Structure 1
Amino acid sequence: MKKFTVLFALISLISIISVPVSAESDSKTMVVSASISSICSISTTPLNFGEVNLTGATNATATLSVQCTNGGAWSLGMDEGQNFVAAARFLKSGTQTLAYDLFTDPARGVRWTGAGAGLKLGTGTGALQSVTVYGQVTTGQILISTGGVPYTDTIIVTMTY
């Protein structure tokens, strides 16, 4: 009887091990996506003309730093400043004014504005890009000392992307 029980237990064990296990499965697809919008940032440095020349124009430059997503188009525009009068930008010290302008090119031939040909256009590279602002205090003005108080103006730079 012991042999029969052991034999029966062994056969039962083999039949359990050899019984194929049947498992069911189901598969579905999953959509994975990402989007990259054009993202940009801008920073500015001051434009300082320093001591204005008695004769001839006084030139100076400043730098705008632009960083945009690779391939993203951008444009930079500038307003006319706080002291704009009769189609001209002016630096001001008290009641005294000094005419100046800002340009997109080193020859100072294209006036920087907020629309049309006066915009600076570019395409983002993902890296920091430097854009030069070319300034000029025009010649032929009557220069009036303000006792060390600087002539100033504030320009709003607008980036569209």
Structure 2
Amino acid sequence: MKFATKLSLGCIALLSCALGAAGLLLTGQSFSGSLASTRTALQAQQEKEKYALERIIFQATDSAQFENYILASAAQQYAEQTADAGSSMALWLDGAYALYSSLPAALPRTALKQALTDGENAWQLTRAAGRWYLLLTQPLDLPGVRADMLCAYDVSAV
């Protein structure tokens, strides 16, 4: 093989590697941007869901006492009203146990506990049953009760 041919093939191989790396970098940046904008939109949606759930809870009782069955039934009522919204949620008490959950069963409990531990404005991307879920947590503003709303949004399309 001539030296000119070897030099041409070497340049083509080097150019192919450079273009492949640049394409990978651009794809990664595009994914990061899409995930960030999706996360921001879902955080805003979760904030609205939090207020709606709190409204249902306050309508369910006329006292300052929030019994577990009232919280659980309010969460179930909210989940039934928003079943077509494409999100699933759980209501956790004291970060220890779920009073109500419509989360996909495939989500690992360790991921749910980690999302609760991370707290408000934290997010977690979790893979379960071949799908990607964005886990977001919001504490509810209920006097005398530490309750958290944990939502799982399917972001597999992103």
TM-score under structure 2 length normalisation: 0.30
Structure number with higher helix proportion? 2
**Larger C-alpha radius of gyration, 1 or 2?**
1
Structure number with higher strand proportion? 1
